[in-house]
Amino acid sequence: MQDQRAYLLQNGHVVMASPISSGRYGHLTETGSFKVIEKERNHYSSIYGKIVDASGRTVVADADVDMRVPAGCKFVPAPMPWFMRFNAADGMHAGYLPGYPASHGCVRMPEQLAIAFYNAVDVGTPVTVFGRTPRTNEYSRVGPQPRGRAWPWFSGPFADPRYQHVYPSQPVGPWP
């Protein structure tokens, strides 16, 4: 099985790596060569989200805009902070990482790494998506993640050799 990882390269060298959750079977992340075509700090999905009741309690966790919304409830679009669109509706953004492909096509990243990638790329930055999602539910988990870790690339330039490692990350919990 292929790793669920994103890499940021500079001059052919990995300067940042992140665990990801790509598109699940039936909603695969398209493979190929793309470019970042849009960056939006506080993006919300125009298709996916949840349905909540008048008290804000989730009624349907994995909803889309085409679903019937029960009386007294409303559709709430899914937040996609630090969004970097690279293909039609697909982009990289901060989100929940269960340890296997689980998105509707986007590439989810831990929040601190999504921020670092967002700050490091510009519109026009090349993006290459490769690999494929297995057709099974037997995915490997990302594993336990340390909490409270400082992110060293915020204190120095990306080209510094001290930062050319793979750093552990903290998955972001499911959005309320």
Does residue 142 belong to any structural domain of this protein?
no
pLDDT digits (tens, 9 = 90+) for 138-149: 444 444 333 443
Q: What's the whole-model pTM score?
A: 0.73
Does residue 19 belong to any structural domain of this protein?
no
* Burial of 135 per CB tally in 10 Å (0-12, 13-18, 19+): exposed
Please list, in sequence order, all residues whose beta carbon lies within 8 angstroms of the beta carbon of residue 100, skipping any fewer than 6 positions away.
Answer: 4, 21, 24, 139, 140, 141
CATH of the domain at 82: 2.40.440.10
Does residue 96 belong to any structural domain of this protein?
yes
pLDDT of residue 150: 36
Does residue 56 belong to any structural domain of this protein?
yes
Does residue 5 belong to any structural domain of this protein?
no
Number of domains comprising the chain: 1
Does residue 72 belong to any structural domain of this protein?
yes
pLDDT of residue 136: 54
Q: Span 106-116, mean pLDDT?
A: 97
Does residue 146 belong to any structural domain of this protein?
no
pLDDT digits (tens, 9 = 90+) for 35-49: 999 999 999 999 999
Does residue 60 belong to any structural domain of this protein?
yes
> Residue type at 43?
H
